Amino acid sequence: EQVLVELGERSYPIHIGPGLLDRAGELIKPLMQGGRALVVTDANVAPLYLERVQKSLAEAGVVTMHTVVPAGEQTKDFKHLEALLDAMLEARAERGVMVVALGGGVIGDLTGFAASILLRGVDFVQIPTTLLSQVDSSVGGKTGINTRQGKNLVGTFYQPRLVLADTAVLDTLPRRQVLAGYAEVAKYGVIDDEPFFAWLEANGSKVIDGDLEARRHAVAVSCRAKARIVAADEREGGVRALLNLGHTFGHALEAETGFSEEMLHGEAVALGMVMALRLSARLGLAPAADAERLERHFEALGLPTALPRPRLWAVDRLIRHMAGDKKVKDGKVTFVMARGIGKSFLTREVPEAELASMLSEMAAGR
């Protein structure tokens, strides 16, 4: 199955399905100028999949090099960026090299950023290996690293030449990571696709538990949704901001937990979507039944719907994190609210009192 991201001459296909790792060479080689590739991956993914990708590239006549960085969010920093740029130059990138990002969102964001600034841009492809990266971060061209001031504050828009989403590699992904990625899948249903949300209500557990066909469908629908939104608004001047559903709230939760293992990004996004729907219901925008429907679905699968205890959640600090979010313009925060599941919209008119009382309710565990 293929999804096309339509961006004029920068258009590219997303291939989706099991077994694509072994077709990497055949699919990447035709895009290459020279005959060399540099595969970038992390220390968890390397022992699982690096050899298969290299073998496939070699069979297509590509000379491959590789560089392995530590796993984890800490790797998205200046130090590892510098090391990666070094490795790329050592690999004589100036003579032409295809950069291959093999891993989750951390690898994709770091490698894409490095590829975008090296020699003012060298070609790269994404081989996302987490559910989150297959349905979200590998598509759309946002790249970047974190700084001491916050997440993703330094980066570029830079599209890959190709995305290979091999759904079979999700078999080795820890269940908690699968669930976290699932939050972003459900997001597409809540944004503007109620029938997909209904499909997830019936088939979400199959997606989580590893049913190949259910996973393929969930990844394909998600990529199609993201591709459509990105094609309409590559640089987030408008509709692309809908993809931030649950993210303004989620970002505040992640900031409070120090962007640590305590709360994964997808877990924060799940809670953030619950908050967005609850606040929408509270403001009379959405039926309360739709907020409950979302919570029931997440609960059924084991995604969080209540703020974890025993941590004390300070409402004023959460609000401050939202206000410090980089999506802020003229001192006002753009929120993604919803008129119901599948009916989200952007607004900058959210009364702070209602926001605070929704957060207090969540902080009190209700």
**Which of 24, 132, 337, 350 forms a contact with ligand NAD (CB under 6 A)?**
132
Binding status of residue 126 toward ligand NAD by CB under 6 A: no
Site for ligand NAD in 157-196 (CB under 6 A): 169, 172-173, 177
C-alpha to C-alpha distance for 225 and 363, rounded to whole angstroms = 33
- Answer whether 72's CB lies under 8 Å from 81's CB: no
**Ramachandran angles phi, psi of 191, nearest 5°:** -60, -60
Binding status of residue 71 toward ligand NAD by CB under 6 A: yes
What phi-psi label fits residue 330: left (phi over 0), alpha (psi between -120 and 50 degrees) or beta? left
Catalytic residue flag (residue 80): no
Binding status of residue 106 toward ligand NAD by CB under 6 A: yes
For residue 344, the cross-strand partners are 338
Q: How far is the CB of 106 from ligand NAD (least distance, A)?
A: 3
- Answer whether 137's CB lies under 8 Å from 128's CB: yes
For residue 42, the cross-strand partners are 69
* C-alpha dihedral sign at 268, 271, 273, 275: negative
Segment interacting with ligand NAD, rule: CB under 6 A, options 130-138, 213-221, 292-300, 324-332? 130-138
Given the residues 44, 66, 161, 184, the one annotated as active site: 184
Nearer to ligand NAD, 130 or 344 (CB): 130
Segment interacting with ligand NAD, rule: CB under 6 A, options 54-62, 113-121, 129-137, 304-312? 129-137
**Which of 251, 265, 293, 297 forms a contact with ligand NAD (CB under 6 A)?**
265
Q: How far is the CB of 360 from ligand NAD (least distance, A)?
A: 28
**Which of 36, 142, 224, 278 forms a contact with ligand NAD (CB under 6 A)?**
142
Strands (E), 122-180: 124-128, 142-147, 150-157, 163-166
Nearer to ligand NAD, 138 or 344 (CB): 138
CA distances from 320 to 110, 173, 192, 202, 332 (A): 28, 34, 29, 38, 12
C-alpha to C-alpha distance for 135 and 162, rounded to whole angstroms = 14
Catalytic residue flag (residue 240): yes
- Residue positions counted in the chain: 366
Alpha helices of the chain — where are they, by DSSP H? Answer: 24-28, 45, 51-59, 78-90, 105-117, 131-132, 175-192, 194-209, 212-232, 247-256, 265-282, 288-301, 315-323, 352-363
Nearest CA among 150, 152, 130, 134 for reference residue 142 = 152
Catalytic residue flag (residue 236): yes
Segment interacting with ligand NAD, rule: CB under 6 A, options 83-91, 98-106, 197-205, 234-242? 98-106
**Which of 56, 137, 167, 344 forms a contact with ligand NAD (CB under 6 A)?**
137
Binding status of residue 73 toward ligand NAD by CB under 6 A: yes
Count of chain residues binding ligand NAD (CB under 6 A): 29
**Which residues contact ligand NAD (rule: CB under 6 A)?**
42, 44-45, 48, 71-73, 76, 103-107, 109, 129-130, 132-133, 136-137, 140, 142, 151-152, 169, 172-173, 177, 265
* Residues carrying an active site annotation: 120, 142, 184, 226, 236, 240, 244, 247, 251, 265
